[in-house]
Structure 1
Amino acid sequence: MTMAMSWSEWADHDAVALAERVRKGDVSPAELAAQAKAAIDKVNGPLDAVVEVFDDAVADPVGNGTNTDGTFAGVPYLMKDLGPTLKGRLQEFGSMLMQGHRPAEDSFLTGKIRQAGLNIMGRTTTPEFGVCSSAENALYVTRNPWDTAYTTYGSSAGTGAIVAAGVLPMSHATDGGGSIRIPAGANGNIGLKVSRGVFSLAPNLSDLSGLVSIQGCHSRTVRDTAAFVDQCRGGAPGEFMPFWSPAEPYSELIKKDPGRLRIALSHEWGDYRAVPHFVAELERVGRFLEGLGHHVEWALPKVDFQTAFAAQTTCYISNFAQVIAGQIARLGHERPPADLLEPINIKIWEAGLDTTYGERSKMQAVFNTTSRAFGNFFEDWDIILTPVTALPTPKVGTTEYLTVSDNPSVYDWFGNLWKNFAYTPLANLCGMPGISLPLAAQENGLPLGIQAQARQANDGLLLQLAAQIERAIGGKWNAGQRPSVHVAGA
């Protein structure tokens, strides 16, 4: 089969550039889809990151509902195997329990993605129900393209690997506590978690019912992420809260540098600390930002971190328990079948099913005080910068972070997660934006994302700063390096 372009050329194009090639008549959406499928065939063996390719969507993007006149002009796109639904397509949540599940309708965001010109041509891997830090179970073991001995993290596991390996310039991701930013950090991608009131969860959820869950993407350029947000944002009829838009599209905003920013550095969040190498990398990036003209110093919000993480744990356990309960009821089970649901998820169901209104009310009171504390902090600071994770990325098979763990206590299991993933979840709790940028490296050779967070609805400032950095480094994220598993070779 003859490809539309060489693999090196393919990997050098972001989604905006591919769309421009389509508009010029150099290549068709079907040819892009065929090359994306060939790219999956080329690298998915060692990565195990793609669950399914929709062959009909490859052959006929327009028949798949893609608006090829949209901004992305038919650029291929993969959907994480949870989140927005595709009518009649399989959506199996990374779970044995959900095998064969076909939603009866499209989500509102699915329509926005198609209208934007993205051709949804398959599914990427995720841990069971998106719980935990890596897609490793009986269904698949997703590996990091920089070194396949290591995990990709999660829950946007397959997307992290596929974008990093050059298969696609952009792919769908979701973030309930860091699941966009954490795998972006370990795979060397750009991962933006937007504020509340940007991407709709309609029709079956809302930002109010989800509380912490955010949709989004991984990309390799700031302009791709900016264009994705511009084109896919917006509320459906009947949202529980107003959806907002910036005064200027992000695709235009990012062409201008931000003013001199007040940037706080931190890695000491309550009881949690980053390893020394990560702190040194954070400091190095801080000095780089000083070189761009920004004011940088160590500072920390006045947050009761221990109480905040306890409230976040209550949120996850009670939210996931209801999701699991809904599915087992739909399937006619009284309790989760032990052979179809992983041990920690069964414990989550047991611990969270009978959460009282009083417990949720106390949780939300902590959400409020935490959000107010960050809000006050951002009266004095524009950005807070942290590593994306506190500890080195573990190797595949490190079960302490997985829902196949044999930890007898679900609370101890979550407490162990926070030791590594302390820096991302409070943005979900507070509804504020955070972005992971591939600016650093771990001692094990994997990328290390540096995370910038800002006040609610200041997503544009994060993208402006990211674009300023991208220009300053000549577009060479990850110091210009490529992973060892890559469509164009390392």
Structure 2
Amino acid sequence: MTLSMSWDEWAKQDAMGLAALVRGGELTATELAAQAAAGIARLNPTLSAVVEVFEDAVAEPATDGTNLGGPFAGVPWLMKDLGPTIRGRLQEMGSRLMRGNRPAADSYLTTRIRAAGLNIIGRTTTPEFGCCSSAENPEVYVTRNPWDLGYTTNGSSAGCGAMLAAGVLPLSHATDGGGSIRIPAGACGNLGLKPSRGVLSTAPYASDISSLVSTQGCQSRTVRDTAAFLDHCRGGAPGEFMPYWTAPEPYAALIQRDPRPLRIALSHEWGDYRATPHFAAELERAGRLLESLGHHVDWALPAVDFRAAFAAQTTCYISNFAQTVANLIAPLGLSRPPAELVEPMNIRIWEAGLDTSYTERARMQAAFNTTSRAFGAFFEAWDIILTPITALPTPRLGTTEYLTISDNPDVLDWFGNLWRNFAYTPLANLCGIPGLSMPLGVQENGLPLGIQAQAKQADDGLLLQLAAQVERAIGGQWNGGRRPGVHVTVG
């Protein structure tokens, strides 16, 4: 097929740039969809990051009511195969149990995405129920990192991370219950923002209050794309459990200005968890960059009982995932998850968490409260805390200790192993604060290393403002201007 632009031209455009080309009459939404679909066809056999392409939405971008007059003007968008539902489309959640599952209605966020003019052309890979750190079960699919095919993308927004890094599209849906936007963004060299509570709705099937830790979001390659996504897709559905707030001014305008000089804390020692020396050095390097931009940078840490916080977080995950599995098997008439259709660690989590008592959840919420207050007090003295996105290098494919196909019989030990690597992201979910992974570092294995900035609740705009200042300072060259070996511009 004849493409509307070269792959070099395509890869230089972000979502807002593509939308401007459509509005200017240089391209059509159909041509954008065709180019993204061609990119998927080229690279997905290698990366295994897209589960399905919606051919009807590629051929006719206005399918399902996409508002081509919206700010994104039909820019192609992939939905993670978990979270917001799309009426009549498959949603299989990375699980053999859910094969053939077709939700009957759109989620509220799905309607917001379409109203913004994003054309949902397919769905991306995720580990089963989003529960582990890699979309990696050989019986379902194995998603590979375009920077090095021997490594995972991390997860759970795995396919999203791979497709963006490979230049197939500039903006894509992701979800985050403990780092699942930020961690794969960090390992793939993308921008990944987990918003504060009260920004993007999870209605009608859940709420920020009922799930406590999970939220929606995106990965992108430019700050303005993330800002535009939040500006146009935020807001609560009728009947939300908590207020949904609006920023004082659109983020698209806010990021045009540098932030005031900020008080930025660096840390990589969170309780029992420490980054590798190389990761600590990369964090220091990012700190020096921020210092050169006029910010005050020093080492500091919130006065948090990290052991209690991570224990509470573990209780939350075990009980939440147990209920997720219970809610999925009940309509199928099953009394327990079948071993031939559900991964073994997810069955153990179901067993461990199904009978969690109200007393245990109350203790958990008390720890959430004291942790949130400690972060709140910290952000009275500091504007931002900066950490590496992970404590340890991105695992090679086949490192089963992080996967829900693990044979570890001990659920608590399995979660404890996750925290040793993915230490710095989960507490933002617990506290409802924003966290942003910026592609500023490099791992010793050559993969990108995200540097994470976290701020107080509702300071999402400040994180984006800082990232935009950095983006201008480096001439837009995230990842030092490097691209992965598997990329639409290669070959």
Give the TM-score normalised by the residue count of structure 1.
Answer: 1.00
Partner of 2:9: 9
Q: Which residue of 1 aligns with 2:308?
A: 307
* Partner residue, 2:67: 67
What is residue 43 of structure 1 aligned with on the other side? 43
User: Where does 1:14-33 land on structure 2 (aligned, <5 Å)?
Assistant: 14-33=14-33
Q: State the alpha-carbon separation in 2 of the partners of residues 373 and 141 from structure 1.
A: 39
Match of 2:54 in 1: 54
Whole-angstrom distance in 2 between the partners of 1:290 and 1:17:
31
- In structure 1, the residue matched to 2:210 is 209
For the residues of structure 2 that align with 1:65 and 1:214, how far apart are their CA atoms?
25
Q: How does 1:357-436 map to 2 (within 5 A)?
A: 357-436=358-437
* Partner Cα separation in structure 2 for residue 124 and residue 146 of structure 1: 18
Tell me the equivalent position of 2:244.
243
1:186 aligned partner, one-letter code: A
Aligned-partner residue type, residue 53 of structure 2: V
Q: Give ranges in structure 2 of 5+ residues lacking alignment.
A: none
Residue 342 of structure 1 corresponds to which residue in structure 2? Answer: 343
Partner of 2:465: 464
Q: What displacement does 1:41 show?
A: 0.7
Once the two structures are superposed, what CA deviation does each residue of 1:447-468 show, in whole Å capped at 9, x if it has no partner?
A: 0000000000000000000000
The alpha-carbon deviation at position 65 of structure 1 amounts to: 1.7
Gaps of 5+ in 1: none
SS in 2 for 1:98: coil
Q: What's the offset of the Cα at 1:481? A: 0.4
Q: State whether residues 308 and 370 of structure 1, in contact with CA within 8 Å, keep that contact through their aligned partners in structure 2.
A: yes
Aligned partner of 1:199 in structure 2 is: 200
Amino acid at match of 2:302: P
2:314, 2:384 → 1: CA distance?
26
TM-score normalized by the length of structure 2: 0.99
**Structure 2 SS opposite 1:64:** helix
- The CA distance in 1 between the partners of 2:63 and 2:78, in whole Å, is 16
Shift of 1:64: 3.0
CA-CA distance at 1:45 after TM superposition: 1.2
User: What is the CA–CA distance in structure 2 between the aligned matches of 1:225 and 1:75, rounded to whole Å?
Assistant: 14
**Which segment is superposed worse, 206-215 or 377-386?**
206-215
In structure 2, the residue matched to 1:34 is: 34
> What SS class does the counterpart of residue 269 from structure 2 fall into?
coil
- Whether 2:481 is the aligned partner of 1:480: answer yes
Equivalent pair of 1:66/1:118 in contact (CA under 8 Å): yes
User: Does the CA-based 8 Å contact 1:125-1:158 persist in structure 2?
Assistant: yes
Q: Secondary structure at the match of 1:36?
A: helix
Aligned to 2:176: 175
Summarize deviations over 1:174-227 as a string: whole Å, max 9, x none. 000000000000000000000000001111111111110010001000000000
Task: Tell me how far apart the structure 2 counterparts of residues 64 and 87 of structure 1 sit (CA, whole Å).
Answer: 9
Contact 1:93 1:127 in 2 (8 A): yes
* AA matched with 1:55: E
Equivalent runs, 1:281-292 vs 2, <5 Å: 281-292=282-293
Q: Which amino acid aligns with 1:454?
A: A
User: Could you list the runs of 4 or more consecutive aligned residues of structure 1 that deviate by over 2 angstroms after TM superposition?
Assistant: none
Q: Look up the equivalent residue of 2:169 and give its one-letter code.
A: L
Are 1:153 and 2:145 matched, yes or no?
no
Structure-2 residue corresponding to 1:89: 89
- The match for 1:454 is 455
1:427 CA drift (Å): 0.2
What is the aligned length? 490
Query: Distance between the aligned counterparts of 1:332 and 1:93, measured in 2?
Result: 19
1:63 Cα deviation from its structure 2 partner:
2.2
- The amino acid that maps onto 1:414 is F
- Report Cα offsets for 1:92-128 as digits up to 9, x if no partner: 0000000000001000000000000000010000000
Query: 1:49 touches 1:143 (CA, 8 Å); kept in 2?
Result: yes
1:227-265 CA distances to partner (integer Å, 9 max, x unpaired)? 000000000111110000111000000000000000000
* Residue 101 of structure 1: aligned partner: 101
Following TM superposition, by how much is the alpha carbon of 1:4 offset from its aligned partner in structure 2, in angstroms?
A: 0.6
Confirm or deny: 8 A CA contact 1:64 1:119 kept in the other structure.
Answer: no
Post-superposition CA distance 1:262-296 (Å, at most 9, x none): 00000000000000000000001101111000000
Give the whole-Å Cα distance in 1 for the aligned partners of 2:63 and 2:353: 43
Paired with 2:394 and 2:313, the residues of 1 have a C-alpha distance of 23
8 Å Cα contact 1:312/1:363 also seen in 2: yes
Q: Do the aligned residues in 2 keep the contact of 1:56 with 1:64 (CA within 8 Å)?
A: no
Deviation, structure 1 residue 489? 1.8
**Is 1:117 equivalent to 2:131 in the alignment?**
no
How far, CA to CA, are the matches of 1:217 and 1:250 in structure 2? 15
Residue 11 of structure 1 and its aligned partner are, at CA, apart by 0.5
Q: Give per-residue Cα distances to partners, 1:137-157, cap 9 Å, x unaligned.
A: 111000000000000000000
